[in-house]
Structure 1
Amino acid sequence: MTDDCVIFGAGEYYDTPTVPDGAFVVAADGGLDHVRALGLVPDVVVGDFDSLQGRRPDSDARTIALPPTKDDPDMLSALKIGWGAGFRRFHIWGGLGGRMDHTIANIQLMGLLARHGATGFLHGDDTVITAICDGELAFPAQPVQCSGRMVSVFSLSDVSLGVNESGLKYELHDGTLTNTMALGLSNEFRDGTAASISVTKGTLIVTFPIEAGMPSVSHCHDFTGDIGQLDTTISALLVRE
């Protein structure tokens, strides 16, 4: 049994998704079309199905139908389902591309996971986007084909303190990043050199090439709380007095 929850969204699919054996699979709305194309059987299907091209899923224990006028996007509902099943590492396919607002929302959701001690990886066009809060991403020594490929670091929180970028072309030690500066844009891996990106206090968004492999994740402290309960109700913001 793997520790991974794999979520399929309705965005762009640049590569063929990889699904570890035994992974917990959640299809978020139109992501069900891609799950079916891969011949997979999802553990849970969730959404209002406004982006689904194929037939609607059967109404059974594996399907959670949501109202279209809801507060949580389908991707957050999928993450909450995975979280409720006990998973803390998420791989999301189809979470990038397509509508720009969805892409931004999904990047924000990586920050939500990070702030509760979990890790999410958004898979895109040979690029992965993740977030780290009060912790470190450690990458193994990079092969030649990864050398020179871009890795970028941004502060999602207002301020990120104690930022370190070690083993990269441009090294940063005990730096401070804010969410209105782009100092961490376009760094590079070095051939044969292990690298790490860490932050003492704050949340970073990190983009890196798929060739770098998945980094190991560690944290400065334990985290409490969760990302919230699954909400299947109509948005309270639509209630009129």
Structure 2
Amino acid sequence: MGRERQQSHDTGKVDTTCVVFAAGTYFNERPSIPHDAFVVAADGGLDHARALGIRADAVIGDFDSISGPVPEQSGTIRLPEEKDDPDLLSALKVGWVKGARIFHIYGALGGRVDHSIANIQILARLAAHGGIGYLFGDGTVVTAICDGSLAFTADAATRGAGRMISVFSHSDQSTDVTERGLKYQLEHATMLNDTVQGVSNEFLTATPALVSVGKGTLVVTFPIEAGLPHVERLHAFSGNLGALSTAVSAALATPRRSA
């Protein structure tokens, strides 16, 4: 499904892909594991990986939603129940340290809407540091791109012809937004995160499609039939997702009442 590995426009190297199994809904879709991918199971996602006969290279979480035993292996990382970082973000941090900049994430859509929103926010965090993540679920893919573009080939667009592609600004303001090769064209526009301007566009038959942003972060949803796009970025990115955190920030901590 789509490209198994993606080439970095900035460095010319091929980035490692990390496949993450989260604990949410799988919609009877069988995940595709790219060759040489690093596989991480986040908490209850381990149950899904086991059911599919897939062995995770790393397992991480507080294991409050796992039904089977916690594996005794070198790649098992146990986290406390009370912490700032959700299990999915911790899983992505593990993959990032292993060199992954492309993340295929299953079980992160559907179910609890607050989890879905949180997972989309995590996509934006990935994009801000030059990574890219794809959430797969119910025939739809969700991704985020920062200061760059997503290009779909004519063949890919034809597979998704007539299906919806939607574009939202995650940043307060995203500038120089262009949408080409779609039913509704957009050239060098400004999109805001409190204004709906890019919902329910459509792929055209035999027409390559492009979604790009000069400055800002876009969240893009598209049909799984279209396959994964070619990603290019306008500049190099720095920073990382941060170290694994088991702390509760002072802003979130509340004093416990004595009995």
TM-score by length of 1: 0.95
Is 1:70 matched up with 2:70? no
Is 1:42 matched up with 2:56? yes
Q: Count how many residue pairs are aligned between Structure 1 and Structure 2.
A: 240
Q: Which runs of 5+ in 2 are unaligned?
A: 6-15
1:93 to 106, 110, 113: 106
Contact preservation (8 Å) 2:148, 2:213: yes
Output the CA distance in 2 between the equivalents of 1:230 and 1:149. Answer: 39
Does the C-alpha gap of structure 1 residues 42 and 230 become closer, same or farther in structure 2, counting only changes over 3 Å? same
For 1:4-35, what per-residue CA distance to the aligned partner results, in whole angstroms no more than 9, with x for missing partners?
A: 10000001102111111221000000000011
Contact preservation (8 Å) 1:136, 1:197: yes
- Identity among equivalent positions (%) equals 57
Contact preservation (8 Å) 1:67, 1:234: no
Output the CA distance in 2 between the equivalents of 1:114 and 1:143. Answer: 23
Contact preservation (8 Å) 1:69, 1:235: no
Which deviates further from its counterpart, 112-121 or 46-55?
46-55
SS of 1:186's equivalent in the other structure is strand
Output the CA distance in 1 between the equivalents of 2:194 and 2:43. Answer: 33
Which deviates further from its counterpart, 34-43 or 123-132?
34-43
Which deviates further from its counterpart, 70-79 or 135-144?
135-144
Q: Which runs of 5+ in 1 are unaligned?
A: none
Output the CA distance in 1 between the equivalents of 2:137 and 2:91. Answer: 18
**What's the C-alpha RMSD, in Å, of the aligned pairs?**
1.6
Aligned residue number for residue 40 of structure 2 = 26
Output the CA distance in 2 between the equivalents of 1:113 and 1:164. Answer: 21
Aligned residue number for residue 253 of structure 2 = 238
Contact preservation (8 Å) 1:113, 1:119: yes
Aligned residue number for residue 132 of structure 1 = 145
AA matched with 1:238:
A
2:181 to 162, 167, 171: 167
> Cα offset for 1:56?
2.4
Output the CA distance in 2 between the equivalents of 1:239 and 1:43. Answer: 36
SS of 1:67's equivalent in the other structure is coil
Contact preservation (8 Å) 1:154, 1:185: yes
AA matched with 1:120:
G
1:153 to 158, 162, 167: 167
> Cα offset for 1:55?
2.1
Aligned residue number for residue 104 of structure 1 = 117
For 1:100-119, what per-residue CA distance to the aligned partner results, in whole angstroms no more than 9, with x for missing partners?
A: 11100000000000011110
Is 1:122 matched up with 2:135? yes
Output the CA distance in 2 between the equivalents of 1:177 and 1:7. Answer: 31
Output the CA distance in 1 between the equivalents of 2:189 and 2:83. Answer: 40
Contact preservation (8 Å) 2:159, 2:226: no
Aligned residue number for residue 182 of structure 1 = 196
For 1:167-205, what per-residue CA distance to the aligned partner results, in whole angstroms no more than 9, with x for missing partners?
A: 000000001100011110000000000000000000000
Output the CA distance in 2 between the equivalents of 1:51 and 1:76. Answer: 16
SS of 2:34's equivalent in the other structure is coil
Output the CA distance in 1 between the equivalents of 2:145 and 2:209. Answer: 15
Output the CA distance in 2 between the equivalents of 1:75 and 1:23. Answer: 17
Output the CA distance in 1 between the equivalents of 2:142 and 2:178. Answer: 18
Does the C-alpha gap of structure 1 residues 145 and 215 become closer, same or farther in structure 2, counting only changes over 3 Å? closer
SS of 2:109's equivalent in the other structure is coil
Output the CA distance in 2 between the equivalents of 1:196 and 1:43. Answer: 35
